[in-house]
Amino acid sequence: MKTSLSPAAWVDPPSGPYIVQDSPQADGFDLTLVLPTYQESRNIRAALQLVSETLRSIEGLTFEIVVVDDNSPDGTWQLALDQAVAIPELRVMRRTAENGLATAVIRGWQVARGRILGVMDADLQHPPEVLTGLVGLSREGTDLVVGSRHVENGGVGDWSVIRRMISRTAQLIGLLILPEVVGRVSDPMSGYFLVKRSAIAGRFLNPKGYKILIEVLARGNVRTIAERGYVFRERMEGESKVSLSIYIEYLEHLVRLRFALLRNSRFLKFCVVGLTGVVVDMGVLYLLSDPRTLHFGLTRSKVAGAEAAILNNFLWNDAWTFANLVPKASSLRMKFGRFLKFNAICSFGMILSVVLLNIQFNWLGMNRYVANGIAILIVTAWNYLANVRFGWRSTDCPTRD
């Protein structure tokens, strides 16, 4: 079902805080899809045609397309505006005082009239036909639907080995700095997704650079997530905007979010609980093995101390860290099931830490203490993410991850 906007296809850029209002403007739509652009004169016509045709083919969908252009010297904004007669669902915003993909997306959402807000690239590297599946999942009620290159039916096309390594390294760094955010989706670098307005309405968004999805995950109220695979296409026209500065901005964004979320971070709670486990481990080890106490064997004492620490950590995590994932009517049997999973995950983590330590020390020649620190960081992230995905969440509170 098509829907028409007013003949004026121009939107004055908003200013001020990056906050999306609670409800759509008058004459709301099902979907507002934002296409941020800069120097896309070779692609914008084809992109708008394909996107509009795809969205019109979805039965019962009312929508608008908002192009937000950063005053492209090649006149991308004007070429987009020229399409407004053929595509009445189109509006165009030209920004002259700001720039950057992430902020462009939010400015587009601020003028949006859709109950679902979306973003995709305008260079046709995001296949428009995938919108049909994304919209379908979103209309079923999912808070966030992500187009992913790393799930079934997804891929990165003809990327070189180096480009693949850079992308995966960036994701790994994100997992180390912000595991409770980056670990929620398989493709946190994706710029192709739909989110319910209600999930980000009233939240202060403060993105930097090109990666808007991480900002949405970190600051939004996103409870349910679904992913749909797509194969990333190589650019047919124009030049890629990927550069070293984009990765530097990505790192700055991660660090900024880490400090912003530190106070209420579930991951921080997990780490605090882990420290109490160290105290329990050391205390039991002393009580059982010290010559001045029970003087049991060291190995038996260490195993008992580690298991006591795991039990301590589980009880605290169950009551505090993951409390909102535990149903009010949780039974003793369900709690025991969570404990068994927690025990298995942490046991694997201990094995993983030994393997990582030996690889770094014996094979790579790293300092043993630096190697141990890196192993601890990786295993802590593993323990947290595995428990979120396979421990508490999968046991009691299924979601559409």
Instruction: Name the token pair of 164.
Output: 């693949």
Whether the predicted pLDDT of 35 surpasses 60 = yes
In the 8-state DSSP scheme, what is residue 155? B
Residue 141 or residue 25, greater confidence = 141
Is residue 23 classed as helix, strand or coil in its secondary structure?
coil
- At 393 the pLDDT is 65
Residue 394 has pLDDT above 70, yes or no: no
* CB-based contacts of 77, cutoff 8 Å, min separation 6: 37, 67, 69, 71, 92, 93, 94
Distance in angstroms (rounded) separating the CA atoms of residues 336 and 338: 5
* pLDDT given for residue 5 in this prediction: 43
Q: Which of 10-19, 51-60, 210-219, 351-360 has the lowest mean pLDDT?
A: 10-19
The type of residue at 115 is: R
Tell me the percentage of the chain whose pLDDT exceeds 90. Answer: 45
pLDDT band at 148 (very low <50, low <70, confident <90, very high): very high
Positive or negative, the CA dihedral 257, 392, 168, 237 is negative
The pLDDT score that the predictor gives to residue 349 is: 86
Indicate if the pLDDT at residue 159 is higher than 90.
no
Alpha carbon 308 to chain centroid distance? 34
pLDDT in tens, 241-253: 556 777 788 888 8
Q: What is the mean pLDDT of residues 125-150?
A: 96
- Alpha-carbon gap, residue 325 to 335, rounded angstroms: 12
Is the pLDDT at 292 greater than 80? The verdict is yes
Residue 19 is classified by DSSP as B
Type of residue numbered 211:
K
CA–CA distance from 92 to each of 44, 48, 99 (Å)? 12, 11, 15
Under 8 Å CB-to-CB from 164, ≥6 apart: which residues?
156
Strand arrangement of the beta sheet that strand 225-229 belongs to:
10-11, 90-94, 63-69, 29-37, 114-119, 193-196, 144-148, 225-229
CA 348 to chain centre: 25
Q: What integer is the mean pLDDT of 135-143? A: 96
Q: Report the share of the chain in percent with pLDDT over 70.
A: 90
Q: What is the pLDDT of residues 330-344, one digit of tens each?
A: 788 889 999 999 999
Q: What is the pLDDT of residue 258?
A: 85
Residue-wise pLDDT for 365-390, tens only, equals 888 778 777 887 888 888 888 888 88
Helix ranges restricted to H, 111-223: 131-139, 161-177, 179-182, 197-200, 212-219
The pLDDT score that the predictor gives to residue 200 is 96
- Does the pTM of the predicted model rise above 0.75? no
Residue 273 pLDDT more than 90?
yes
Q: What is the pLDDT of residue 4?
A: 41
212 closest CA partner among 281, 136, 301, 144: 144
Is the CB of residue 171 less than 8 Å from the CB of residue 247? no
Of the pLDDT bands very low, low, confident and very high (cuts 50, 70, 90), residue 55 is: very high
* Cβ-Cβ contacts under 8 Å for 390 (sequence gap 6 or more): 341, 345
Task: Report the alpha-carbon distance of residue 107 to residue 155 in Å, rounded.
Answer: 30
pLDDT band at 151 (very low <50, low <70, confident <90, very high): very high
b/e map 192-211, b = 16+ CB within 10 Å = bbbbbbebbbebebbbbbbb
For all residues of the chain together, what is the average pLDDT? 86
Mean pLDDT of 319-332: 81
Q: Compute the radius of gyration of the chain from its Cα atoms.
A: 25
Angle between helices 244-261 and 161-177 (to 10 degrees): 20
pLDDT digits (tens, 9 = 90+) for 206-227: 887 778 999 999 999 999 999 9
Mean pLDDT confidence for 56-82: 94
- From the CB of residue 233, how many other CB atoms can be counted at a distance below 10 Å? 15
Mean pLDDT score, 249-260: 87
- Identify which of 97-101, 273-277, 312-316 has the greatest average pLDDT: 312-316
